[in-house]
Structure 1
Amino acid sequence: MHAHHHHNEHPNETASTRIGWAFFLNLAFTVVEFIGGILTNSTAILADAVHDLGDSLSLGMAWLLNKLGQKDATSTFTYGYQRLSLVGALINAVVLITGSVWIMSMAIPRLWEPEMPMAEGMLVMAVVGIAVNGYAAFRLSRGKTLNEKVLNWHLLEDVMGWVAVFMVGVILMFVDWPWLDPLLSIAFTLFILVNVARYLVTTVKLFVQATPDAELYQNISVSLQELPAVQSVHHLHLWSLDGESHVLTAHLVLADDLDAPQRRDLKAKVAEVLAPFSLAHTTIELEAPVEQCRDEHCPPA
Structure 2
Amino acid sequence: MGHHHQGDHHDHEEGHHHHAISSNLKVAFFLNLSFTIIEFVGGIFTNSMAILSDAIHDLGDTFAIGSSLFLENYSQKGRSKKYSFGYKRFSPLSALINSVILLAGSVIIIVEAIPRLINPESVNAQGMLYLAIAGIVFNGAAVFRLKKGGKSINQRTVMLHLLEDVLGWAAVLIGSIVMIFADLPVIDPILSLCIAVYILWNAFRNLQQVMNIFLQATPDNIDIEKVKAALSSIEDIQEMHDTHIWTLDGDYNILSIHLVIKKNMRLTELAELRAKVNHVLKNFHIDHITTQFEVPGEVCELEKH
TM-score (norm 2): 0.92
| Post-superposition offset of 1:214 | 7.1
Q: Distance in 2 between matches of 1:86 and 1:232?
A: 34
Matches within 5 A, 1:201-212: 201-212=208-219
Matches within 5 A, 1:76-87: 76-87=82-93
| Post-superposition offset of 1:6 | 4.1
Work out whether 1:34 is the aligned partner of 2:37.
no
Structure 2 unaligned regions, length at least 5: none
Structure 1 residues 20 and 228: CA distance shift in structure 2, 3 A: same
Structure 1 partner of 2:95:
89
Contact 1:5–1:279, Cα closer than 8 Å, also in 2: no
Greater Cα shift, 206-215 or 21-30: 206-215
Give per-residue Cα distances to partners, 1:237-277, cap 9 Å, x unaligned: 00001111110000001111112222122112112211212
Give per-residue Cα distances to partners, 1:150-205, cap 9 Å, x unaligned: 32232122112112212211211121100000000100011111111111111111
Runs (4+) off by over 3 Å? none
- Which residue identity is paired with 1:127? I
Structure 2 partner of 1:75:
81
Work out whether 1:3 is the aligned partner of 2:6.
yes
Structure 1 unaligned regions, length at least 5: none
Work out whether 1:243 is the aligned partner of 2:263.
no
| Post-superposition offset of 1:2 | 0.8
Greater Cα shift, 142-151 or 195-204: 142-151
- Which residue identity is paired with 1:19? L
Contact 2:7–2:289, Cα closer than 8 Å, also in 1: yes
Matching residue within 45, 52, 55 for 1:49:
55
Matches within 5 A, 1:191-230: 191-213=198-220, 215-230=222-237
Work out whether 1:22 is the aligned partner of 2:34.
no
Q: Distance in 2 between matches of 1:214 and 1:160?
A: 28
Q: Distance in 2 between matches of 1:178 and 1:214?
A: 45
TM-score (norm 1): 0.94
Q: Distance in 1 between matches of 2:202 and 2:35?
A: 22
| Post-superposition offset of 1:233 | 0.6
| Post-superposition offset of 1:22 | 0.3
Contact 2:75–2:90, Cα closer than 8 Å, also in 1: no
Work out whether 1:134 is the aligned partner of 2:140.
yes
| Post-superposition offset of 1:7 | 2.4
| Post-superposition offset of 1:143 | 2.6
Q: Distance in 1 between matches of 2:56 and 2:111?
A: 14
Structure 1 residues 289 and 72: CA distance shift in structure 2, 3 A: same
Q: Distance in 1 between matches of 2:43 and 2:240?
A: 59
- Which residue identity is paired with 2:38? V
| Post-superposition offset of 1:278 | 2.4
Work out whether 1:99 is the aligned partner of 2:101.
no
Give per-residue Cα distances to partners, 1:82-140, cap 9 Å, x unaligned: 11111111111111111011100111111110001111221221122112111111211
| Post-superposition offset of 1:294 | 3.8
- Which residue identity is paired with 1:120? Q
SS at match of 1:12: helix
- Which residue identity is paired with 1:247? I
Q: Distance in 1 between matches of 2:9 and 2:125?
A: 52
Paired-residue identity, %: 41
Work out whether 1:64 is the aligned partner of 2:70.
yes
Work out whether 1:143 is the aligned partner of 2:146.
no
SS at match of 2:223: helix
Structure 2 partner of 1:170:
177
SS at match of 2:123: coil
RMSD: 1.7
Q: Using CA pairs under 8 Å that are at least 6 residues apart, name the structure with larger relative contact order, 1 or 2.
A: 2
Q: Distance in 2 between matches of 1:35 and 1:21?
A: 22
- Which residue identity is paired with 1:280? D
Q: Distance in 2 between matches of 1:120 and 1:6?
A: 55
Contact 1:234–1:299, Cα closer than 8 Å, also in 2: no
SS at match of 1:39: helix
Q: Distance in 2 between matches of 1:7 and 1:179?
A: 54
Structure 1 partner of 2:297:
290
Aligned residues: 298
SS at match of 1:258: coil
Contact 1:143–1:149, Cα closer than 8 Å, also in 2: no
Q: Distance in 1 between matches of 2:269 and 2:180?
A: 79
- Which residue identity is paired with 1:288? V
